Amino acid sequence: MTLVPIDRIVADHRAQPRVITNADTIAEYVEAMANGAVFPPIVVFQDGDQFFIGDGFHRYHAFVGLGLAEVECDVRSGGIRDAILFSCSANAAHGVRRTNEDKRHAVLRLLGDAEWSGWSDREIARRCLVHHEMVAKLRPKPSLAETASDNVHR
């Protein structure tokens, strides 16, 4: 683990795995931390002198609320895209349980990306830790015009 200056950590909304950041959760974390509770390090992806959060938005906001100058981080190599991809499965096994909307948000984030949308339903499901049928339901269906055009070119 590495101590990282908090002013170099970027809480980019594109990597936020939650539909909403819960102020009550942040307040609970601040209180628990102030009383000595130890939380897991924030997972960040280092790109030059910036550290993009991939997991730990609520913890980050609690650390900011406590006025800490630096926080313990699990530093990984990469940039914002790495943080976004990592965030799609964040909180599946720890922290505040993901809502169905959080899961949907993660899947739609990958389906909305030019590169990631080309992955199979099963691969996106694996990355988001959801069932592949959820991905299939959310994946945009080709229009009739696109389907007809594909048939002409075969």
Q: How does pLDDT run across 104-140, given as a tens digit for each residue?
A: 999 999 999 999 999 999 999 999 999 999 999 999 8
| Residue 148: pLDDT band with limits 50, 70, 90 | low
pLDDT at 18: 83
Q: How does pLDDT run across 68-86, given as a tens digit for each residue?
A: 999 999 999 999 999 999 9
Q: What is the mean pLDDT of residues 10-32?
A: 90
pLDDT at 147: 53
pLDDT at 150: 57
Residue 31: CA count within 13 A, CB half-sphere: 6
Instruction: Extract the tokens encoding 107.
Output: 């899947």
148 class by beta-carbon count within 10 Å (0-12 exposed, 13-18 middle, 19+ buried): exposed
Would you say residue 10 has pLDDT above 70? Answer: yes
pTM of the model: 0.83
At 14, is the secondary structure helix, strand, or coil?
Answer: helix
